[in-house]
A and B are shown apart, each in its own frame.
Chain A
Amino acid sequence: MPGEIHGLLGKNGSGKSTLIKILSGYHKPDEGTLEVDGRPVPLPIPLGRSEAIGLAFVHQNLGLLPEATVLENFIAGDHARAGQWFINWQAEAARARRLFGQHHLDLDPWATVGDLSPVKRAQLAIVRAADRVGSHSEDASAGLLVLDEPTPFLPIEGVRELFAMMRRLKETGVSIIFVSHDIDEVMEITDRITVLRDGHVIDSFDTAATSRTRIVEAIVGRSLTQERLVHAEPLANVPMMSASNLSGRIVRDLDLEVAPGEILGLTGLIGSGFDEVPRLLAGAQLASAGRLAMPGGAVHDLTRMQPADAVAAGIALIPADRQKLGLALDLSLTENAMLPMAARGDHCFLLDHRARHAKTAELMRRFVVKAESPRQAASELSGGNQQKLLLAKWLQLGPKLVLLDEPTQGIDIGARREIYERLLEACAAGAAVICATSEFEQLELIAHRVVVFERGRVKAELRGGEVTKSSIEAACYGETRTYEHG
């Protein structure tokens, strides 16, 4: 509807991003029709034509070049209007200032985008998009802006500023589709809400006339509970490792303990910071504060700990991006699997290649890595087998603490099952496991305890029988305490 802010809600994989990609001409829809301003639009929309029919997008990464100035970013992609052969920078700056003024945005056109606060950057991207649909649209309509998750990385005051800007835009007749994970934000800013699940529209609500509970129900749906794989209790109540006062880019003042034989799940919505914790604890990303106590009284300063120190302390990190951070794809399975030993400098003056291949072949049997030979390049394996190889590479060391970041991303069910079993074995052998994931089913299957994050802090903790998919979802989308205090 013209002049409306419409919220689009749904879980990961519910179809929000697919819908947006169709609108921006990136995907070709299988079927269906689209009307803008009452006129049918042929699908698929040719790339670059969306502005002409009155659509503009602001994606989560904003599409700004940090090294360039505000003005350069502002006219990027609009060079046809600004002048093909000669850009009158003074006139463009004056025009940008005038537009920023209309949006109550205090921005110097000559400032460098990288120096701006995240809020200012988001506002710049939105004003740019609004200007594009306003000036390019083939009729006089104010156009439709699609804001795809612009808020997760903004502080609370920033979100308020952004909302004020969206309301002003709405008054000028611009329509906005606001995509978010955050129900509270959506309830605060939108006029209507549509919920997607599994690619279908579940329901549409008038925001003023609905309740939070009804929306959560629509998002989550009825969940089928799976049989939990984890039964045994943690081996001891004494913590295997404890992190204190941990802060990173998003995470703030976190205290965390895991016991031997315990699988601790970390989860939350996008941008809540849960996925930062494994990297901070493994030294892959330096913390701004925090200490890590390991068994035997060793205490590590997480603001300086390097990955090599973490490995030496018995910490294993299995990163989410296995193709870039986990395995060197054009090297062989043996070289990848034996890297921890080579990095440590074992047998440093005479590598026994036959023994290395034999050890790798043995690991491949134990971890059910399906491949022709240990001499193959890792790139030839499927995603699931790569992940199992990565698990083998680390678990052969008998680590005390295993850190996983989205361990089953893009992996089929069979391989998932095998990965869970290997993790449970490691636990039974006394390792502590921390698994950061946004897949709640997975936590229901394997976690003894789950910590839910919001805006870098712990929002809820579930343990034992409370660890179910629906209760994790409820905790994630649940009423927020910190937000209210703003």
Chain B
Amino acid sequence: MTNVGYQLERYGLVIVWLAVIALFGALRPETFLTWSNFSSIFGSEAVLVIVTLGLIVPLTAGDFDLSIAQTLTFTSMLTAILSARMGVPIGYAIPIALAAGAIVGLINGAITLYFRVHSLIVTLGVGTFLHGITLWMSDSQTISGVSRVLMQYVIIQRIFGIPVSFYYAIVLAALVWYVLSYTAFGQQLLFTGRGREVGRLTGVAVGRVRMTAFVVSGMMGAFAGILYTGTTGSANPTSGTTLLLPAFAAAFLGATCIKPGRFNAWGSVIAVYFLVTGINGLSVLGFRTFVHDLFYGGALVVAVMVSQLVSGRKERTL
């Protein structure tokens, strides 16, 4: 493959994204192409970026975490109940929610590793179980009245006009990028996913690596849940349900760019914003909500098809 071709492949999704923006901008310049529209996209979809980043950690280690969206719903509800119903200061509610996410990760990891069950099944069950708990503790109601302090630090404060939640997502993406590309642990994750026996025979503690990946994704899910509550000032018991598929679509779509063939942080960020720009543009054009499912579902299938094509070819590293 020529160098030009390779660069084109790396930035292909960015180019498509810009093309999509140009297209909708030409069609609806007065509503779509406004700074307020973009800054609200950047801010509100930070939650989806963090869920996607949480997914690619276990995905790199060869495990699926289908429970991450329900972890988000659960911790979002937990934060709301602690803050609105029980009057717990937000400074305590946040660490409690993060710890809850870590515990979910530990449970996922323990069952997957100890009983040697495929993570797909384990996390599907654990996620559904968590959803049940969420409905139970909220009595299936939306809980509002969360402390303004949380909203202040998530959505109200803005830097360059964009809510701070966006910057949290970018900092996390930088962290995930650094860990995957520049640490020994990143290499251990990679070998755990791509050559588990090779890694084990070379001395990688694959069990510990997989467990860590589950705990990280649980905590990222919890962090996304806290941000979700902060974005709307409330928690509703079905919030995460619609995030799982977009996050998977973005993770796989992200693996087709920046570092083609691998789940990577910046690719995931670009993929999320590509997908939500598409959805936003379509709704500005007047399409109703069914386009969400068409777009996300289609994107997931196209993404895995493309990544299959990419992985069949030459791959490069830094």
Contact = CB atoms under 8 A, between A and B. Distances in A.
Interface of A: 282, 284, 307-308, 310-312, 317, 319, 324-332, 334-336, 338-351, 353, 375-377, 380, 393
Contact of B198 (A325, A341, A353): A325
Contacts of B188: 342-343
Contact of A331 (B195, B314, B318): B195
18 contacts: A308-B204, A308-B205, A324-B198, A325-B197, A328-B195, A330-B315, A331-B195, A331-B317, A332-B317, A335-B190, A343-B188, A343-B204, A345-B184, A348-B184, A350-B183, A351-B186, A353-B318, A375-B316
A351 B203 contact: no
B195 A311 contact: no
Contacts of A284: 201
Given A307-B203, A308-B203, A345-B184, A339 B198 contact: yes
Interface string B190-221: 11001101111111110000000000000000
B283 interface: no
Contacts of A347: 184
Contacts of A376: 314
A57 to B, nearest CB: 31
B194 A351 contact: no
Nearest to B207: A306
Contacts of B185: 345, 348
B307 to A, nearest CB: 12
B311 interface: yes
B276 to A, nearest CB: 31
A331 B315 CA distance: 8
Contacts of A311: 202-203
Contact of B187 (A310, A312, A335, A349): A335
Interface string B247-276: 000000000000001000000000000000
B116 to A, nearest CB: 15
A328 B185 CA distance: 16
A71 to B, nearest CB: 29
Q: Secondary structure of the B side of the interface?
A: helix
B184 A327 contact: no
B182 interface: yes
Contacts of B205: 308
Given A311-B202, A317-B201, A340-B203, A346 B184 contact: yes
Contact of A334 (B181, B184, B191, B317): B317
Nearest to A341: B184
A359 to B, nearest CB: 14
A324 B188 CA distance: 17
A334 B315 CA distance: 12
B184 A351 contact: yes
Contact of B202 (A332, A340, A345, A380): A340
Contact of B183 (A310, A351, A377): A351
A351 B205 CA distance: 19
Interface string B151-195: 000000000000000000000000000000111111110110011
A346 B184 CA distance: 7
Given A308-B205, A331-B190, A348-B184, A343 B311 contact: no
Contact of A319 (B187, B201, B318): B201
Given A328-B199, A342-B184, A347-B184, 14 more contacts: A307-B203, A328-B191, A328-B195, A329-B195, A331-B195, A332-B315, A342-B187, A343-B203, A345-B184, A349-B183, A350-B182, A351-B184, A351-B187, A380-B314
Nearest to B318: A353
Contact of B191 (A308, A331, A348, A353): A331
A200 to B, nearest CB: 40
A344 B203 contact: yes
B316 A339 contact: no
3 tightest Cβ-Cβ pairs between the two chains A and B = A328-B195, A342-B187, A311-B203
B198 A327 contact: yes
Given A307-B200, A330-B194, A331-B195, A339 B187 contact: yes
Contacts of A319: 201
A310 B186 CA distance: 23
A319 B261 CA distance: 27
Tell me which of A282, A335, A341 has the highest count of chain B C-beta atoms within 10 A of its own C-beta: A335
A398 to B, nearest CB: 15
Contacts of B186: 351
A169 to B, nearest CB: 41
B202 A331 contact: no
A339 B182 CA distance: 13
Contacts of B201: 282, 284, 307, 317, 319, 325
